[in-house]
A and B are shown apart, each in its own frame.
Chain A
Amino acid sequence: MGTAISLDMRAPWVGPEVVDEFFAWLGSVDERFSTYREDSAVSRVRRGEVAVLDCDSDMSEVLLLCEQVRLASSGVFDAWTHSPEGFDPSGLVKGWSIDRGAEILLSGGARNFCINAGGDILAQGEREPGVAWTVGIRNPLEVGGVAKVISVRDMAVATSGAYERGAHITNAVAPGAPGELLSITVVGRGLTLTDAYATAAYAMGDAGTSWAASQPGYGVFAITRPERAVWDGEFDKLIETGAKAGSAGARS
């Protein structure tokens, strides 16, 4: 099982070779960074066959970004301790590969597209002239519910939460407790750090919301049990006016 990545592109259109290059790039990331492929560079690093910095420049770039987030999160996000099997940059690679893929689309002439990678989104440009992309944030407490609808341009939206609590998120607080943090959505420029910050903030538990809010240029929207939502001023600033009157819980 893997991550489904969808691309929704609007005019101006680009040739199929640009879209092919985008998906080929993602394929090459998968080949090199998958922890589930014996022959990937990450697996070779884990087996001690090669040092991270002796791999290609993409690997070095990912390593530096992982270190940046590890330092910013006081070690909560740590590609070296996250998995008992060794080096695991997966929490950063997805967002990074989408940002780099977006550069391919942009240099091929695309301006308006929305990429959804397993619920983490890069919304570039706008849906149609004068209309921003509309992104729904899932409500983990309501069957089929959307907690908040926001409109964004040139923005990444990443959510970590109870509905995706799996092997890739550790340190989460005990489920079921009142006040339990159910999901954290981070909004900001570029999916690399936006996604990594959402992952780190959710792993921090209660402290995660204010930690994410303290990152300059990134906004946070958190849902807790019982149904409550909190968000910061930066979140309001980054989403389009008119979409702010959300149906989510009271502000606190």
Chain B
Amino acid sequence: MRASIALFATVVGLIMIFSFKTPDTTRPPTAIAGLPTPAPDSTSPSPTASPSGSESPSPAPGRYRDGQYTGSDISMRFGDVQVRISVKGGRITDIQTPHMPFDRPRSQEISQEAAPLLYHEVLQAQSAQIDSLSGATYTSDAYAQSLQSALDQAHS
């Protein structure tokens, strides 16, 4: 029981994309489902309720299936962002960015800053050392969207 609680306590994330605050939008605001996703039917159990009192250390049901998942290519003001994740043992073990915007000098500056840091952030969030980072970028929003679509694929 304790093990499953710890697993769920690691990260419960839900991400939603809004249209306010940043301009240059060409896509409508999208709500994207989060990690353990609350079912649309509110009578279903809470995402935090472990289905069983299993003492197995294996990932809880509903975590990620092992494999490699490539997120959507997300367009943002500085170019395209795409994230690819590798999952092993139900946890994210690697994050790559096949596409980061490098088309203009300013974009390069921002990408170089954003890519390694965001990589750091996601892995840190898993290891629960830094819970959250203050100071964001436009790139980070596109990163979050692409990451989320990769996570959706990895979600069993």
Beyond the given pairs A6-B13, A8-B11, A138-B133, 14 more chain A to chain B contacts, judged by CB atoms under 8 angstroms and listed by A's residue number, are: A1-B24, A6-B15, A30-B20, A34-B29, A36-B25, A37-B19, A123-B132, A134-B131, A134-B132, A136-B132, A136-B133, A146-B120, A149-B130, A159-B135
In the complex, the answer to whether B117 meets A2 with C-beta atoms within 8 Å is no
B124 shortest CB reach to chain A, Å: 8
A35, B34: Cα distance in complex, Å: 26
Interface stretch of the complex, out of B39-47, B62-70, B83-91: B39-47
Q: How many residues of A contact B (CB 8 A)?
A: 64
30 A-B pairs whose Cβ atoms sit less than 8 Å apart in the complex:
A4-B17, A5-B15, A5-B17, A6-B14, A6-B144, A7-B13, A7-B34, A20-B42, A34-B18, A34-B20, A90-B21, A94-B20, A94-B21, A116-B133, A118-B21, A118-B22, A118-B140, A118-B141, A119-B135, A119-B140, A120-B134, A134-B132, A135-B132, A144-B116, A144-B119, A145-B117, A161-B135, A163-B110, A163-B136, A166-B77
Interface size, chain B (Cβ < 8 Å): 60
B120 and A137 within 8 A (CB): no
Pair A16/B77 contact, Cβ less than 8 Å: no
Minimum Cβ distance to chain A for residue B137 (Å): 5
**Which 6 residue pairs of A and B lie closest in terms of their CB atoms, listed nearest first?**
A119-B136, A16-B38, A13-B48, A144-B116, A138-B135, A159-B135
